[in-house]
Copies of this chain bind each other. A is one copy, B any other.
């Protein structure tokens, strides 16, 4: 427990501190064996603080996420963890969706870490980027800020995902398609909403069931409830992230709305239990772990190549996982019936 330093080891062996230091950094020294033994006997551990001070490196990479209990971000972190390598560690910061905590964290991180992988809360930044003032290497994951181009990024093909989801519903015959969107101030919020709207327009459908929510379970619940209360309710809904999908499903359940009989639903981001619910949930899936790993690789590349490195942009693909929560709209039958009726 005592604080045994390199000097103690040197004295114990009878050599200078320089020799011990050299041994530690892998040089061959004369009393190799004696030193090794002394280190064990004294239970010596080099002071990380002193090393940092000399070298200017900490061997720590920070990951800043808005909400660690969101399985998506947990997977990002896990992926990054897996790619971090032997000689570095990860410092996790959970900003809890608070802009204030995000700022404070970034300020505190300076000097404590070699770089920051982050999913910023919002793209809306007044003036020159808030992040430029810190000389820290930054890699954006999942989300970027306005001037994100200047940094390396590991993003998802959001537009494509939204397009696939929307077209899937359109192909099934839906005309009244709703979207429960994330905040348009975030990258995925904006991009997914854009993809949705573009798909509707391309098919000549009006965009009349668009709700901007907040990526939270509660938000999804509220938005779904609002949609269901409309006189002319939609027949299908695209929820822009996992949490809102859960919220929406709760709302549907609470009101006894049958899926996909009365309403079809497709979510962005797969869920662990998507197959367990009734009916199994159709989703747009992506590899979050891979995305986290990519972000870490970009960071490490930047760290090893020095500040001169050009920013790189990687993107993970999305894909449609059809299960059972989407079906043709009930109106299809009604319309057919009407035709016969005439």
**Which A positions have Cβ atoms within 8 angstroms of B?**
1-3, 43, 45-50, 52-53, 56, 58, 60, 68-69, 71, 74-75, 77-78, 81-82, 89-94, 96, 105, 107-112, 133, 135, 217, 246, 249-250, 253, 271-273, 275-278, 307
Nearest CB in chain B to that of A57: its residue:
B49
Bound: A273/B220 CA distance, A: 14
Bound: A246/B277 CA distance, A: 11
Whether the pair B110, A45 counts as a contact (CB closer than 8 A) is yes
Whether the pair A47, B53 counts as a contact (CB closer than 8 A) is yes
* A1 and B78 contact, Cβ closer than 8 Å, known pairs A43-B133, A53-B50, A110-B45: no
Whether the pair B81, A74 counts as a contact (CB closer than 8 A) is no
What residues of B have a CB within 8 angstroms of the CB of A74 in the complex? Answer: 68-69, 71, 74
Bound: A278/B258 CA distance, A: 13
What residues of B have a CB within 8 angstroms of the CB of A68 in the complex? Answer: 68, 74, 77-78, 81
Bound: A250/B82 CA distance, A: 27
What residues of B have a CB within 8 angstroms of the CB of A275 in the complex? Answer: 250, 253
Bound: A170/B111 CA distance, A: 58
Whether the pair A246, B135 counts as a contact (CB closer than 8 A) is no
Whether the pair B105, A77 counts as a contact (CB closer than 8 A) is no
Closest 5 CB pairs of A and B: A1-B135, A92-B92, A49-B52, A278-B278, A48-B111
Bound: A111/B91 CA distance, A: 15
What residues of B have a CB within 8 angstroms of the CB of A307 in the complex? Answer: 1
What residues of B have a CB within 8 angstroms of the CB of A94 in the complex? Answer: 77-78, 81, 90
Whether the pair A69, B60 counts as a contact (CB closer than 8 A) is no
Whether the pair A89, B89 counts as a contact (CB closer than 8 A) is no
What residues of B have a CB within 8 angstroms of the CB of A111 in the complex? Answer: 45-49
Given contacts A46-B111, A68-B81, 4 further A-B contacts (CB under 8 A): A43-B133, A69-B74, A78-B94, A278-B278
Whether the pair B49, A53 counts as a contact (CB closer than 8 A) is yes
What residues of B have a CB within 8 angstroms of the CB of A75 in the complex? Answer: 69
What residues of B have a CB within 8 angstroms of the CB of A77 in the complex? Answer: 68, 92, 94
Nearest CB in chain B to that of A67: its residue:
B78
Bound: A221/B81 CA distance, A: 26
Q: Quick one: which of B90, B110, B249 contacts A92, CB cutoff 8 A?
A: B90
What residues of B have a CB within 8 angstroms of the CB of A89 in the complex? Answer: 91, 93, 105, 108-109, 112
What residues of B have a CB within 8 angstroms of the CB of A273 in the complex? Answer: 246, 249, 271, 273, 276-277
Bound: A2/B107 CA distance, A: 16
Nearest CB in chain B to that of A80: its residue:
B94
Bound: A93/B84 CA distance, A: 11
For the complex formed, measure the closest distance between the CB of A289 and the CB atoms of chain B, giving whole angstroms: 9
What residues of B have a CB within 8 angstroms of the CB of A48 in the complex? Answer: 52, 110-112
Bound: A135/B273 CA distance, A: 42
What residues of B have a CB within 8 angstroms of the CB of A52 in the complex? Answer: 48-49, 52-53
